[in-house]
Amino acid sequence: MKSSIPSQMLASELEEIVGEAHISTKETDKLVYSTDWFWVPQMFLDRGEAITTPDYIVRPGSAEEISRILKLASAYRVPVVPWGGGSGSQGGALPIYGGILLDTKRLDQIIDIDEVSLTVTAQAGINGAQLEWELNEKGLTLPHYPASANCATLGGYLAPRGSGTLSTKYGKAEDLVLGMEVVLPNGDIIRTPPVPQHAAGPDFYRLFLGSEGTFGVITEATMQLDYLPETRLFRAVLFDDLHNAIEAGRLMMTRRLDPTVIRLYDSKSTASRIKRILGHDLDGAYMVLGFDGDPDIAALQEQKAMEICLELNARDLGREPGEAWWEHRYDFYYPPQNLKLPWMYGTTETVATFDKIEKLYYAEKEAVEQQFKEWKVDFIAHFSHWFHWGSMIYSRFIIEEPPEDPREALELHNRVWQAAMTAVLENGGMVNEHHGVGLKLARYMRRQYGDAWPFLESLKRAIDPSGIMNPGKVGFGVG
């Protein structure tokens, strides 16, 4: 076996930085870190085909160590891919050019919980559920509740701009950030002050939200907290048609009834998922409503919301199905209830303003269902994160019998995505609302942003002139 001198040099220098116990070139580690939650790499492994692995897996223990790693990577011109929990569905953490896989999970400390201002400052590699348990012990909560809290990290919440179950009231992960510490590609460590808001120039820290590791490594964040709510009220209603259901959601949002949750399932989701997980056999559009906080205020908000729903001919299903949904909301993610290989699936989620949302839903549905009829494609959707001006559509396609050959499967997968994204872009939607871009959506970024895209590219060049940070992701370096 030949030894590559630069590769051995780099390994030894990395070891000097993080210590022998925190660098690995083991076969199993390379395999396990070769895939995140993106369907494509999982599919290749499922079909017994090896994929690109990282050359080194390093687990730094501080921002200073990360700074030294990035300086080293710049010197050797080696790619660095930040890794949190590897739960991203977009291929953002894939080491597509090998290089250094930088696992942030050793940065798992809570630095401060400020019980007066209600903030927490924590290192970026902390596990979401563990952070939440710590906060709960003080009666506090970080109101970002993604279904991946058990496995994702704080940095992974922020880097792809995630949304949680309660985002309709509390905002996306990015809306909860007050300040961050980031290691830049040149090794500089920068911090932004954790203040509620300010006007001291551009909000440059926001650049790192959504940069998915292409601009640097987030090492620490100060996040807004809330008290654990005194009450959480859930209720379910059933609409005969989606149009009225969307209108009900729109009225609740534009009248600022402040729902914690509006989750609206289209009729196919209602018939499949709600039936399978909650056991309710219903025909129509199932909507879960949630209100929380002060019991009197929440009850009043719920009452007003119910008035809107009933006026739009909804059937009140009562509390039990709403509460059961809250109780079982993550059951959907446990195998074998979840989507699983060898099936083909993808979450083609999108977001738009209210004036476009219904048309967008039908356009995407039709594009996918019509063009891939022969593959018996299933298109299901729910509307899960609502804003005062619009909503997101969490749409999914599922093909239960895709081609066995991985290359044919990939080709079909990309065609379905192409159809869905074309419909989205032609109907005023965004290519995503919360899963990030990663590798999966990289090829749509130029089209998404048009004339603004070169500006983003020039920012990337300015921040990361050597192009070491997570190359090929978010569309940087992609045609």
Partner 1 sequence: MKLNNPIDTVENCRYCLMCRHVAPVGHITKDETLTPHGIALTVASQRRGLIQWNRETVAVIYSEPDGGNCRAHCITDQPLPEAIAAVRAELTAQDLAPAIVYRVHEALEKWHTPFGEERLAPATGRAEVALFVGDEAHYLWPSALEGALKLLEAVGLRPTLIGRGRSSGYLASSLGFPETATRQGQELLAELSASGASRLLVLSPGDYFTFNQLYPERLGIALPPEVALNDVASVLAEALADGRLPLRASEEPTPYAYVDPTHAVRVPQRFDAPRALVGAVMPSAPLELFWRRERAHPVGSTALQFTRPELADALTRARLEDAKNRGAELLICEDPGSLYQLKQHAGALSLRVKGLYELLAEHIAC
Ligand X SMILES: Cc1cc2nc3c(=O)[nH]c(=O)nc-3n(C[C@H](O)[C@H](O)[C@H](O)COP(=O)(O)OP(=O)(O)OC[C@H]3O[C@@H](n4cnc5c(N)ncnc54)[C@H](O)[C@@H]3O)c2cc1C
With CB under 8 A as the contact rule, the residue among 37, 265, 345, 361 that binds partner 1 is: 37
Nearest residue (CB) to partner 1, 62 versus 150 = 150
In the block, residue with structure tokens 């050797």: 76
| Cβ neighbours of 25 (radius 10 Å) | 14
Which whole-number Å values give the CA distances from 105 to 64, 128, 155, 220, 434, in the listed order?
A: 15, 11, 9, 12, 22
Nearest residue (CB) to partner 1, 87 versus 348 = 87
Nearest residue (CB) to ligand SF4, 202 versus 335 = 335
Nearest residue (CB) to ligand X, 163 versus 348 = 163
The CB-of-144 to ligand X minimum distance in angstroms stands at 8
With CB under 6 A as the contact rule, the residue among 60, 79, 92, 143 that binds ligand X is: 92
Q: How far, in Å, CA of 390 to CA of 413, rounded? A: 29
Residue nearest to ligand X (CB): 156
Q: Does residue 450 touch ligand SF4 according to CB under 6 A?
A: no
| Alpha helices by DSSP H, 20-153 | 27-32, 39-46, 63-76, 128-136
Asked if residues 184 and 70 have their Cβ atoms less than 8 Å apart, the reply is yes
Strands 80-83 and 110-114: unpaired
Footprint of partner 1 on 85-114 (CB under 8 A) = 85-87, 103, 105-106, 108
Please report, as a single letter, which amino acid is at residue 79: P
Q: How far, in Å, CA of 3 to CA of 192, rounded? A: 43
Q: Does residue 455 touch partner 1 according to CB under 8 A?
A: no
437's contact among ligand X, partner 1, ligand SF4, none, with CB below 5 to 8 A by partner kind, is none
CA 69 to chain centre: 26
Footprint of ligand X on 122-161 (CB under 6 A) = 124, 146-148, 152-153, 155-157, 159-160
Please report, as a single letter, which amino acid is at residue 363: A
* Residues ≥6 apart with Cβ < 8 Å to 69: 14, 17, 18, 58, 60, 80, 100, 102
With CB under 8 A as the contact rule, the residue among 254, 313, 337, 458 that binds partner 1 is: 337
Q: How far, in Å, CA of 474 to CA of 265, rounded? A: 29
Nearest residue (CB) to ligand SF4, 335 versus 450 = 335
134's contact among partner 1, ligand X, ligand SF4, none, with CB below 5 to 8 A by partner kind, is partner 1
CA 367 to chain centre: 24
Give the x-and-dash track for 142-171 against partner 1 (CB under 8 A): ------xxxx--------------------
Q: Does residue 340 touch partner 1 according to CB under 8 A?
A: yes
Asked if residues 225 and 162 have their Cβ atoms less than 8 Å apart, the reply is no
Q: Does residue 127 touch partner 1 according to CB under 8 A?
A: yes
Q: How far, in Å, CA of 479 to CA of 470, rounded? A: 16
Q: Does residue 31 touch partner 1 according to CB under 8 A?
A: yes
Footprint of ligand X on 199-258 (CB under 6 A) = 212-213, 217-218
How many positions of this chain bind ligand X (CB under 6 A)? 39
Asked if residues 378 and 369 have their Cβ atoms less than 8 Å apart, the reply is no
With CB under 8 A as the contact rule, the residue among 10, 23, 24, 246 that binds partner 1 is: 24
Nearest residue (CB) to ligand SF4, 89 versus 167 = 89
With CB under 6 A as the contact rule, the residue among 196, 202, 335, 479 that binds ligand SF4 is: 335
| Cβ neighbours of 33 (radius 10 Å) | 21
* Residues ≥6 apart with Cβ < 8 Å to 235: 288, 289, 290, 302, 306, 316, 317, 318, 319, 322
Q: How far, in Å, CA of 208 to CA of 256, rounded? A: 30
Footprint of partner 1 on 220-279 (CB under 8 A) = none
Nearest residue (CB) to partner 1, 57 versus 367 = 57
331's contact among partner 1, ligand X, ligand SF4, none, with CB below 5 to 8 A by partner kind, is partner 1
Q: How far, in Å, CA of 264 to CA of 247, rounded? A: 11
Q: Contact positions toward ligand SF4, by CB under 6 A?
A: 334-335
Q: Contact positions toward ligand X, by CB under 6 A?
A: 36-37, 81-89, 92-93, 104, 124, 146-148, 152-153, 155-157, 159-160, 162-164, 212-213, 217-218, 333, 434-436, 438, 470, 473
Q: Contact positions toward partner 1, by CB under 8 A?
A: 24, 26-29, 31-33, 35, 37, 42, 45-48, 50, 59, 83, 85-87, 103, 105-106, 108, 125, 127-130, 133-134, 148-151, 330-331, 333-338, 340-341
